[in-house]
Amino acid sequence: MGDASAPSTPRGETASRRGSSASAKSKTSSAEAKELSKQKYDSPFDASLVAARKRSQQERLWEIFTAYALQISSEDPTRIRIVNVVKLLQDCGIIDGNNTEEAKMIEKEVAIVCEAFLKAHPTDRDSSKKLDFTAFLALLLHFAKMSGDRDPSRAYDSLVRTCLEKQQKSRIRVVVAQELLECKKVLAAFEDPLTKIFMFYAAQSHSKLEKIDTKMAQFCPPHMSYAEAVAFGRKYGIIAHGVLTTTEFASIYIDSLPKAPATEYDRVLTYKGFCEMLVRLSKKTCLDKTLPADRNLKGLLQVMWLALASSSPRALKITDVLKSDRVDVTKHFLIHFEKYWKKERYENYFGDRPASVRIESVMDPPSPPKPPMPRRLSLNPTPAPKAKTLPRRMSVQTTSKAT
């Protein structure tokens, strides 16, 4: 019996060893799989994919944000009102948008939460109770934290995905890459006056931003705010004068901002974006769509010159505060354009305009004592339709005196 039972012990030990080794191997393989999975997830390639996906989501969210910011008015497409935020959440199905008492109560509660958020973030608001894009993203995160989910980041991602999937009002960005290449020479020829114009309005933007948000003023590059861009558009005859509406100008301004910037501090209109905006404006204002892009840009510069030259001399007193010699920016542009225009033999870049406008040259001012008329430049060679002119009224008065 002893001999028979003796060999059973090593067999049992061998079986237990095999079982333990198999268990150890399974644990090792499981740990290795987890480690490989972790390494795979933590690899630079996957991290870059995740970052790219987030940038893409944020860019699409920016397009939705600007679409709703422009929904009511175009006074500032870079800021959104609380009422537009509520409308966005209703359209996405995040809150009830039906015309019921319960839905109205929810809408009122969400508006109260938004206003409370603005009060808690004074640097992200202004007197008109609007949110910029950074504050809007922070507000979405605030809503995600209120959802009750243990993981706020997961709730935030879910909220953003819902906005992107159910939203149909995002804007389509107009691409002008080819037009920019065609306009490269014209932009280089006018770099000096355009830089002076840009820096003047950028200085105004910076001084105003320092009073509202010192941190943003510190980290943002030199840029032209939307308010100063509108001032530029009105001053240089691009807005009004039958050229562009404020809403059209606002859309072009938004399209000219950097796409998918590294930080939200970089989502501003720099000089590069300013030149891109001019190309977009020239494309929009051109009457003949068959003309090349560089000719359209020359036509826009011609409109800018026309608006300045036709205004009173007192309206031309804009001074570049960044220069010690205090060069008059508008006068510098007028002289530069006329020199360029003279080389091209005063070509009418825009073709026939709706109305006939005759403008005196800035470089060759008229001499009042001399009887001959001074040299005049016309953007429309065709004569204007006959109307009641000053000589005709004078002849009528003469006839009445004679009788």
Name the residue ranges covered by the structural domains of the chain.
Answer: 44-166, 189-378
Give the 3-state secondary structure of residue 80.
Answer: strand
The residue with tokens 């060069």 is 327
Check residue 54 and report its DSSP letter. H
* DSSP-assigned states of every residue in 351-390: -S-SS--EEE-SSS---TTSSSPPPEEES--SPPPP---H
Cα four-point dihedral sign 131, 209, 217, 223: positive
148: left (phi over 0), alpha (psi -120 to 50) or beta: left
C-alpha to C-alpha distances, 275 to 236, 237, 238, 278, 377, nearest whole angstrom = 15, 17, 14, 5, 27
The domain made up of 44-166 has a fold known as Recoverin; domain 1 (1.10.238)
Q: Are 190 and 290 in contact (CB under 8 A)?
A: no
Closest-CA residue to 335 (of 367, 364, 311): 364
Please state, rounded to an integer, the average pLDDT across all residues of the chain.
Answer: 77
- Count of helix runs (H) and strand runs (E) in the chain: 17, 4
pLDDT, average across residues 189-205: 97
Cβ atoms < 10 Å from Cβ of 295: 18
Give kind and range of the element (H or E) at residue 79.
strand 79-81
Is a pLDDT exceeding 50 seen at residue 394?
no
User: What residue has token string 């007193």?
Assistant: 317
Instruction: Answer with the residue of higher pLDDT: 256 or 148.
Output: 256
Residue type for 131, please?
A: L
Q: Tell me the DSSP string of 97-132.
A: -SSSHHHHHHHHHHHHHHHHHHHH-GGG--TT-EEE
Q: Are the C-beta atoms of 347 and 329 separated by less than 8 Å?
A: no
Question: Is residue 171's pLDDT more than 70?
Answer: yes
Amino acid at 384: A
d(CA 280, CA 286): 10
Residue 25 has pLDDT above 70, yes or no: no
pLDDT(328) > 70: yes
Q: φ, ψ for residue 81 (rounded to 5)?
A: -80, 160
Each residue's pLDDT tens digit, 43-94: 555 667 777 778 888 898 999 999 898 886 667 899 898 889 999 988 888 8
- Band (243; pLDDT cuts 50, 70, 90): confident
pLDDT at 297 over 60: yes
Q: In which band, very low, low, confident or very high, does the pLDDT at 179 lie, cut at 50, 70 and 90?
A: very high
Q: Quote the pLDDT of residue 32.
A: 55
Which tens digits make up the pLDDT trace of 274-290? 999 999 999 998 878 88
DSSP 240: B
Q: Judge whether residue 151 has pLDDT over 80.
A: yes
Residue 163 is encoded by which pair of tokens? 């906005």
**What is the percentage of the chain residues whose pLDDT exceeds 70?**
67
pLDDT the model gives residue 389: 46
Q: What residues contact 209, with CB distance under 8 A and at least 6 apart?
A: 216, 217, 220, 225
Provide CB contacts within 8 A for 344, sequence distance 6+.
Answer: none
Query: What's the pLDDT at 361?
Result: 44
3-class secondary structure, 328:
strand
